């Protein structure tokens, strides 16, 4: 399984140490351009298709901030159910306020609170 990371420059370096390729993005435009290259140019607002930069990428790891920058493009991609699958992690400053953890979402979905 091939992983790819988009996020803070510090985390790109950290992921490289464990063998995960990645790209630092510093704003919404850079994040969207990188996301579209990795996902074969998927664009919810246009019919443009770009060459896929990472054809073997099966899991795309994003910081929460990067995921926020992607907005509707990310939501559309996730609902399409195609690869790469997207995993969000906290950035270097920690979890963003108001974001649920995966465990919180599962507990809410099944109605079990321990």
Strands of the sheet with 2-7, listed across from one edge: 21-24, 2-7, 57-63, 85-89
Higher pLDDT pick, 59 / 108? 59
**Residue 100 reports pLDDT greater than 70:** no
User: Can you give the CATH number for the domain in which 16 is found?
Assistant: 3.40.50.10580
Whether residue 112 is predicted with pLDDT greater than 80 in this model: the reply is no
pLDDT tens digits, residue range 36-81? 888 875 444 444 444 455 567 889 999 989 999 998 888 888 888 8
Residue 11's domain spans which residues? Answer: 2-110
Pairing, β 57-63 against β 21-24: unpaired
Q: What is the pLDDT of residue 113?
A: 65
Greater pLDDT, 100 or 11: 11
- Residue 17 in this model has a pLDDT that exceeds 90: yes
For the residues 14-38, what does the mean pLDDT come to?
92
The number of distinct structural domains making up the chain is 1
DSSP annotation of 95 reads S
What's the predicted TM-score (pTM) here? 0.73
């Amino acid at each position: 399984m091939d992983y790819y990371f988009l996020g803070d420059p510090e985390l790109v370096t950290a992921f490289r140490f464990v063998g995960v390729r990645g790209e630092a993005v510093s704003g919404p435009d850079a994040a969207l351009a990188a996301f579209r290259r990795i996902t074969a140019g998927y664009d919810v607002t246009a019919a443009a298709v770009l060459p896929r930069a990472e054809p073997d990428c099966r899991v795309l790891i994003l910081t929460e901030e990067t995921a926020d920058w992607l907005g509707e493009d990310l939501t559309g991609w996730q609902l399409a159910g195609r690869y790469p699958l997207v995993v969000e992690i906290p950035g270097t400053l920690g979890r963003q306020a108001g974001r649920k953890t995966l465990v919180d979402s599962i507990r809410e979905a099944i109605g079990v609170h321990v």
